[in-house]
Structure 1
Amino acid sequence: MNMTISRLAKSVRYGIAVSAAAGVMTTMSVSAQEAETDTAAADVEKIAIVGTRAAPRSIGDSAVPIDIIGDEEFKNQGSTDMVSMMQSVVPSFNVNDQPINDASTLVRPANLRGMASDHTLVLVNGKRRHRSAVITFLGGGLSDGAQGPDISVIPAAALKQVEVLRDGAAAQYGSDAIAGVVNFVLRDDAEGGSVEARMGSYYEGDGDMMQVSANVGMPLTDDGFLNVTAEYRTADATSRSVQRDDAQALIDAGNTAVADPAQIWGNPEIKDDIKLFANLGLDLGDDREAYMFGNYAERTVDGGFYFRNPHNRGGVNDGGTNADGEQLLLVGDLTGDMSGNCPTDIVVGDNVLENPRYINEVANNPDCFAFNEMLPGGFTPRFGGDITDMSLVFGTKGFLDNDVRYDVSVNLGRNEVDFAIRNTINPSLGPDTPTSFKPGKYIQQEQTLDIDLGKPFEVGLYDALYLAGGFQYRHETYESIAGDPASYEIGPLASQGFGIGSNGFPGLSNKSQNKASRHNIAFYLDAEAYLTEDFMLTAAIRYEDFSDFGSTSKGKLAARWQITDTVALRGAYSTGFKAPTIGQSNVRNVTTAFGTDGRLIDRATLPPTDPISVQKGGTVLTPEESESYSMGMVAEFDNGLFLTVDYYHIEVTDRISTTSGIKLTEEDIAALLAQGVTDASSFSEVSYFTNDFDTTTEGVDIVANYSMEMFGGDTKFSLAYNWTSTTVDQASENISPDRVHMIEDNLPAVRYSVTANHNNGDWRFLARVNYTGSIFEDHLDSGLPIDNVGSEFTLDLEAGYHFNDQFQVVVGAKNALDEYPDENVLWDTEIAGAKYPVTSPIGINGGFYYVRGVYTF
């Protein structure tokens, strides 16, 4: 595949140059042409179903800010996974690469309006999307412990549009909608379709990507449709690493078994990423219809992990130090009765492999064993897993004879992650250890029943008062399933100081298996009316009762005032909540991370009600509570300019997250062992979920669109701007100062993009300038501050040509000028070999070029 894409490089880069020239010409001539009002009106008349339970409204008529992203806006960019696509078109939507971040590598957390990834409610066709089974134990500070849906399973080819409600909406839709709502609307064509093939690669020659997708619409009898989408994708890994000092020192001392680089920072490898989506609708007559939609998706992810130094990796090679502070080698006795008299005082020096005592007393002694015999250069595990996602929603909606609108649906969702780790060991098994493991799986399942009713009432106002009410029942289950026995087995060398379980990600034991569930019921009431021709008022109230922590009631008021023919003002006030997930309340996990002392450690994440968590301050989780307000302006000018400016202010109390690592004392470990946690001696730190800090987030969103004729074609210009600031108002001692700094400053305060999209006959040219402000990074979440990861401009370019009505070819580049973040000069070789700050908002991989062919029918 590498050779195939390399042959395309010359022609693709030529196409990029043509696109760049066209983009510059387009941008320079904005003021030289006048807009066509009809064309502009067509651009802004976008209809959304999210944010209201009355008739769908244009985004300009909404009382709250809504973005509508059409399917073409997703297709016209270099990203291929939905998370990155969203970041390209919604400026307040942020996502970082997760090159080495445990389960976050499998499902990347994304952030809307500066909030955690599970503060945004995700809908498909207006129905709640189930959560991922992946909990982001290491989420870059802001999303630590978050458990949101996996939107990467949604193929862009299946979408008609995406609606982004940028306002608190928990009173309308329930838990999680603190930051807003994202609604993915599926295609409903009953005929036609498209097939697309795409290939691409990073400028450095790695990360080769191949994707094939197809969408087809078919009639379902004479009164319905069946629309089906399939997508297949693979992506090779990338590497943006430098050699670590400790690994280089081993090489310099003659250890030829150490890899260069010993540790890889980059995108994981994605294998067999398969996505299937189907959307069905059938007209039943008399303003009634039946509908059904669902998906199946699976993919395999294989990512990097931290290098294990063959001299001092704890539980593998680290035998402690002698009186002179010299590092000793951990040696195991294989006799079973300790009759081997194996040495415990071998000094590793610069290269223990050349130490005569190691050679004579260990390597050539069948009674004694050190892992340097099996892994002389140390080892770097590869961590990933198989993700399977499926859903099915079916229901019926329409109108009764008394003008009552109804919508009754059943929603089933399931997400499973089956972890895998290879190139590692279970140290306690000694030379009999396997080197690859299946350490267990997590499964999230949800079943939902929705009954929604609505009816307009004439009450003497300018327009009818629309009332909507409904009921929801939801049942959730989170299940932990044990891994293969070797991944958690306590081997014969455990009593001699060797670690237990698959190193890097110990398997879930039979004792850790758990299946927890809960249910909740909800009732809601919405009201919406025009009090006058120019003034609209909406209100919502929602009551929910959860079986595990009790009930809550939330409300919302929003208004829109058309003050002139051109300008309208809008604003909203709401209270909201996010319920602790069933996974957050019950999950057990062990992750490898850099500890508070700057060394690799195994950190156990325990339920907050576990006795050791309680001993360290853990309590039963309660909901997060929010209070937010927004105010803004909508302007639609006669010259075709469409402009929205919105300010938002969100206060969240009792936010749920994992604590920073808490060191375990010998007494703590003894208490764990007494509870039957037999591998407790492997833990250095513990963490648990807790309601532990409060935040205030405020920001401004600016969205502008302008269309005009130029160069004999049509050009659309768009601006999307976001400023966000988050302050931690209160945090307990369980949240470290560096973690607070990450929550406040790890996302760019300012992000914006300016796009020009020009269509001229058979040609189309796109240029997009992106800006991301500076950030702070606590490198590896280990008290290693990078105070200023500088701001960056990047440029995306694309050029397309229609050979006929059915077939077009597109070439383009994401980050066409091959920009990188500031190099990590503070902690690169000294710590873990990361060449760049790993949470950089522009990523660490540089420019990416691609070519795609699209056939429509």
Structure 2
Amino acid sequence: MNTSLSLLTKHVRGVLAASAAFSVMAIAPVHAQEAADAAEANAEDYEQIAIVGSRAAPRSVAESAVPIDIISDEEFKNQGATDVVSMMQTVVPSFNVNDQPINDASTLVRPANLRGMASDHTLVLVNGKRRHRSAVITFLGGGLSDGAQGPDISVIPAAALKQIEVLRDGAAAQYGSDAIAGVINFVLNDASEGGSFEARYGSYYEGDGDMIQLSGNIGMPLSDKGFINLSAEYRTADDTSRSVQRDDAAALVAAGNTFVADPAQIWGSPEIKHDYKLFANLGLELSDTAEAYMFGNFAEREVEGGFYYRNPHTRGGVYAADDGSLLVGDLTDDLSGNCPTDIIPGDNVLTNERYINEVANNPDCFAFNEILPGGFTPRFGGTVTDMSLVFGTRGELANDITYDVSLNLGENEVDFVISNTINPSLGPDTPFEFSPGRYTQSEQTLDVDFTKPFEIGLYEPLFVASGFQYRHESYESFAGDTASYEIGPLASQGFGIGSNGFPGLAANSQGLVSRHNIAFYVDAEAYITETFMLAGAIRYEDYSDFGDTTKGKVAFRWQALENIAFRGAFSTGFKAPTLGQSNVRNVTTAFGTDGKLIDRATLPPTDPVSQLKGGEQLTPEESESITFGVVADFDNGLFVTADYYNIELTDRISTASGIALTDEDIAILLDQGISDASSFSEISFFTNDFDTTTEGLDVVANYSMDMFEGETKFSLAYNWTSTEVDRASDNISAERIRMLEDNLPAVRYSATANHTNGDWRFLARLNYFGSIYEDHLDSALPIDKVGSEITIDLEMAYNFTEELTVTVGAKNAFDEYPDENTQYAGIAGSLYPTTSPIGINGGFYYLRGVYTF
């Protein structure tokens, strides 16, 4: 924490000084203010102004050459979801997110998917500036996002937002790496007066998962020429359980083991112990022709969830030896205890006479059944800390040249914690709680952008934008506490090393890696005729670690009829491998295909053992993307857009399926100084290992009408997506390929009716999720069809005064659940398929009060 804070503090003075120097050059108004004024002048959603998608004069959603969704702050208020990630799913057609029960670091930062791509294929901006990545790598991301390292957008409070702009088109040529699926731009509230305070309580129908959230926003003037807008949010949430007793745990209980918990393993949402978010947005007019701006955030979230149950008869390295016999340690210094190595546990080892006489009552011998007789289930979580600061100036120079110069500092840190577990090699002296290490992602970016219109005889001036970007990023790993990776005295006797479930990062494996890149771009756009607009962009980027790349884009918009326009784009894109993907070392516990737990080590792809198994230096992912659509704006108020997309993505980066280690491999790891290698069963590494083609259709429709003496707004967000794996190496299993192709719903849509009548408001939303395939527990346990589902959201609000509104509602009001996991529920105790798109928790009701001033 102190390290993180000091890093930002170190650069603040430089940012302030540089921005002040740039502001001296300013002499004209800025496009962003013009965009805001235009948006206020026309409140209809499809006429709102978007910053993303065009670097020329900002255009409305209807006039854009590429599909853009704008989510207003009002839409945030009309939902039962409490975080921005879940809110977006109901209004953006191809945006998907689901819960992550027992999914390692994914529990801390949920991966979200746009247009069927992984979570780090979407570029995230705040006020048009690149957002830094999370330090969390989703080692178990539910198939599609396995190995992804994207930004953590859940740290942005809804109270801080003016609107969200979602560009559903490849935009790497305009904005740089990661914009393969599209761009999400979070536009911060810039009000200089007024504010609001919101209190919200909610709970699941099952009576668990109680949630309390408090948030507020206030706008204040900064002299008479600027604003300060501050937002804060605080949230806590209890965990949930949708579990059944595991078959092996039930057998232990039936055999007389009274120490086994019921359920032994919990599947559900993690506990959010605290989650607070602070955001500030400032702007100041420096003259009639320029302004300075600054915005930034600080957020901290502590989350704890469950892990897999450790069976007291079968968990290798803790309770069981390789041959299945009871693992017994000799506590004498000279191994003179003559401890037994051939005890077969039977139905209940606690009643086994040999165990009682030769182990439990023998001070020279030790088995973990003595202190953890019913087995144990680790609790895993951590604290995510996120902060950023952006400072710059923008305005207009002579000859209609506009500029925007900014410095951007961002950092995300995750500090892992695991409890209710042991370091087996320490025997009876083991602690039961560990800090296995932390990871920090830091980024610093300088952006210099210019635009200028040129009169060249076209219907409109040719807008040309150009710019330069320099970005430095680093990824640092810090060792865990000594006990989390220590090699204890029982290691030589077959006991596992490190905190079981998530071994700590050893001191000799910690370190800092960094890189930098530079980019230049040119972006041009103009209406060739009154009805035909043409745009193009080209971008060159050079990375210090893998080389350079050049990408391009062309787009058009044709107003074919008064009410109908066609639009389309072709673009090439890329995503650079992240520093985390190239360098991280991590150990996770996964379910093996034989039903037993295995420790899988993720190593750098250039590690000697990884290279023995096919690992190579990572290269960028490359994409070609086509979008074609129609925009219909009818006189009766119906507004419809339909956009087809096709994305060919080659050399995709993901984690290889687990590869078994031989004794020779383990010996090489030990020679490298990886002292806990004897505990590993498998390895994995990041690899450019497969190609895909993803195509889909997004349909968005809006219509308003007067009815029942009030006004009703209807909206539809529809998506069809299909992905095919065109090429895959032997490192990708058949089940993994099927997850990539079929784990997202092929069809998903939300249809909403929002009726306002005086002081009353009523909302109803129908959500449809198509069927999916799940490889249960990622261990070759196929659920070929998790059936399609329909859920209904209901909400009713009443304005008691002009300032106070109270809302009651229910998300998944009719308490729908996915199909029960009848095939494999007994294996690990999961009552429902864990990757179900509707989640596994059922209905959620809530009460919300908002006071506006």
TM-score range, shorter chain: over 0.9
Q: Is the 8 A contact 2:230 2:280 kept in 1?
A: yes
Q: Which runs of 5+ in 2 are unaligned?
A: 1-39
SS in structure 1 opposite 2:701?
Answer: strand
How far off is 1:320 after superposition? Answer: 3.5
Q: Which amino acid aligns with 2:760?
A: W
Note the 1:316-335 alignment, pairs <5 A. Answer: 316-321=318-323, 327-335=324-332
SS in structure 2 opposite 1:312?
Answer: coil
How far off is 1:753 after superposition? Answer: 0.6
For 1:75 and 1:601, the matched residues in 2 are separated by 44
Q: Which amino acid aligns with 2:181?
A: A
Structure 2 counterpart of 1:31: none
Q: Which amino acid aligns with 2:530?
A: E
Q: Is the 8 A contact 1:352 1:358 kept in 2?
A: yes
SS in structure 1 opposite 2:562?
Answer: coil
Q: Which amino acid aligns with 1:149?
A: P
For 1:40 and 1:225, the matched residues in 2 are separated by 23
Out of 133, 136, 142, the residue aligned to residue 140 of structure 1 is 142
How far off is 1:567 after superposition? Answer: 0.2
Note the 1:62-141 alignment, pairs <5 A. Answer: 62-141=64-143
Structure 2 counterpart of 1:648: 645
Note the 1:429-468 alignment, pairs <5 A. Answer: 429-468=426-465
SS in structure 2 opposite 1:498?
Answer: coil
Structure 2 counterpart of 1:591: 588
How far off is 1:41 after superposition? Answer: 7.6
Q: Is the 8 A contact 1:39 1:707 kept in 2?
A: no
Structure 1 counterpart of 2:850: 854
For 1:70 and 1:610, the matched residues in 2 are separated by 48
Structure 2 counterpart of 1:617: 614
Structure 1 counterpart of 2:764: 767
For 2:346 and 2:646, the matched residues in 1 are separated by 58
Q: Which amino acid aligns with 2:499?
A: S
Structure 2 counterpart of 1:788: 785
Q: Which amino acid aligns with 1:835?
A: L
Rate the CA distance shift 1:401–1:64 in 2: closer, same or farther, 3 A. same
Q: Which amino acid aligns with 1:388?
A: T
Q: Is the 8 A contact 1:40 1:641 kept in 2?
A: no
For 1:238 and 1:247, the matched residues in 2 are separated by 20
How far off is 1:91 after superposition? Answer: 2.3
SS in structure 2 opposite 1:591?
Answer: strand
SS in structure 2 opposite 1:743?
Answer: helix
Structure 1 stretch displaced more, 411-420 or 284-293? 284-293
Q: Is the 8 A contact 1:40 1:640 kept in 2?
A: no
How far off is 1:670 after superposition? Answer: 1.4
How far off is 1:42 after superposition? Answer: 3.0
Q: Is the 8 A contact 1:621 1:691 kept in 2?
A: yes
Q: Is the 8 A contact 2:241 2:266 kept in 1?
A: yes
Out of 515, 521, 524, the residue aligned to residue 521 of structure 2 is 524
How far off is 1:338 after superposition? Answer: 0.5
Note if 1:415 corresponds to 2:412: yes
How far off is 1:654 after superposition? Answer: 0.2
Out of 153, 156, 166, the residue aligned to residue 154 of structure 1 is 156
Note if 1:394 corresponds to 2:396: no
SS in structure 2 opposite 1:67?
Answer: strand
Residue-by-residue CA offset, 1:157-194 (whole Å, 9 max, x unaligned): 11000000000000000000000000000000000000
Give the alignment's TM-score, normalised by structure 2. 0.95
Structure 1 counterpart of 2:26: none
How far off is 1:39 after superposition? Answer: 13
Q: Is the 8 A contact 2:294 2:389 kept in 1?
A: yes
Structure 2 counterpart of 1:22: none
Structure 2 counterpart of 1:234: 236
Structure 2 counterpart of 1:296: 298
Note the 1:355-366 alignment, pairs <5 A. Answer: 355-366=352-363
Out of 824, 829, 833, the residue aligned to residue 833 of structure 1 is 829
Structure 1 counterpart of 2:798: 801
Residue-by-residue CA offset, 1:818-852 (whole Å, 9 max, x unaligned): 000000000001x1000000000000000000001
For 1:306 and 1:361, the matched residues in 2 are separated by 30
For 1:209 and 1:79, the matched residues in 2 are separated by 11
Out of 273, 276, 286, the residue aligned to residue 274 of structure 1 is 276
SS in structure 1 opposite 2:96?
Answer: strand
For 1:803 and 1:140, the matched residues in 2 are separated by 45
Structure 1 counterpart of 2:15: none
For 1:72 and 1:462, the matched residues in 2 are separated by 37
Q: Which amino acid aligns with 2:595?
A: G
For 1:450 and 1:39, the matched residues in 2 are separated by 30
Note if 1:816 corresponds to 2:818: no
Q: Is the 8 A contact 1:320 1:329 kept in 2?
A: no
Structure 2 counterpart of 1:7: none
Structure 2 counterpart of 1:17: none
Q: Is the 8 A contact 1:178 1:576 kept in 2?
A: yes
Q: Is the 8 A contact 2:412 2:440 kept in 1?
A: yes
How far off is 1:674 after superposition? Answer: 2.0
Q: Which amino acid aligns with 2:625?
A: S
Q: Is the 8 A contact 2:725 2:737 kept in 1?
A: yes
How far off is 1:597 after superposition? Answer: 3.1
Out of 662, 673, 698, the residue aligned to residue 665 of structure 1 is 662
How far off is 1:594 after superposition? Answer: 1.1
**How many residues are paired up?**
814
For 1:458 and 1:82, the matched residues in 2 are separated by 42
For 1:588 and 1:743, the matched residues in 2 are separated by 24
Note if 1:567 corresponds to 2:564: yes
How far off is 1:40 after superposition? Answer: 10
Q: Is the 8 A contact 1:329 1:347 kept in 2?
A: yes
Structure 2 counterpart of 1:486: 483
Residue-by-residue CA offset, 1:214-245 (whole Å, 9 max, x unaligned): 00000000000000000000000000000000
SS in structure 1 opposite 2:369?
Answer: coil
SS in structure 2 opposite 1:846?
Answer: coil
Structure 1 counterpart of 2:50: 48
For 1:680 and 1:767, the matched residues in 2 are separated by 55
How far off is 1:734 after superposition? Answer: 0.0
SS in structure 2 opposite 1:648?
Answer: strand
For 1:822 and 1:53, the matched residues in 2 are separated by 47
For 2:500 and 2:246, the matched residues in 1 are separated by 20
Once superposed, what is the RMSD of the aligned Cα atoms?
Answer: 1.0
Residue-by-residue CA offset, 1:248-286 (whole Å, 9 max, x unaligned): 000001100000000000000001100000000001113
For 1:801 and 1:191, the matched residues in 2 are separated by 24
How far off is 1:141 after superposition? Answer: 1.1
Q: Is the 8 A contact 1:596 1:661 kept in 2?
A: no
Note the 1:5-84 alignment, pairs <5 A. Answer: 42-84=44-86
For 1:88 and 1:77, the matched residues in 2 are separated by 9
SS in structure 2 opposite 1:728?
Answer: strand
Q: Which amino acid aligns with 1:446?
A: E
For 1:263 and 1:500, the matched residues in 2 are separated by 23
How far off is 1:43 after superposition? Answer: 4.1
Note if 1:405 corresponds to 2:405: no
Q: Which amino acid aligns with 1:168?
A: G
For 2:178 and 2:501, the matched residues in 1 are separated by 32
For 1:292 and 1:674, the matched residues in 2 are separated by 51
SS in structure 2 opposite 1:431?
Answer: helix
Identity %: 78
Note if 1:735 corresponds to 2:732: yes
Structure 2 counterpart of 1:244: 246
For 1:169 and 1:597, the matched residues in 2 are separated by 44
Q: Which amino acid aligns with 1:469?
A: S
For 1:122 and 1:809, the matched residues in 2 are separated by 33
Structure 2 counterpart of 1:547: 544
Q: Is the 8 A contact 1:796 1:812 kept in 2?
A: yes
Q: Which amino acid aligns with 1:562?
A: Q
Structure 2 counterpart of 1:703: 700
Residue-by-residue CA offset, 1:543-598 (whole Å, 9 max, x unaligned): 00000000000000000000111000000000000000011100000000012433
Q: Which amino acid aligns with 2:587?
A: V
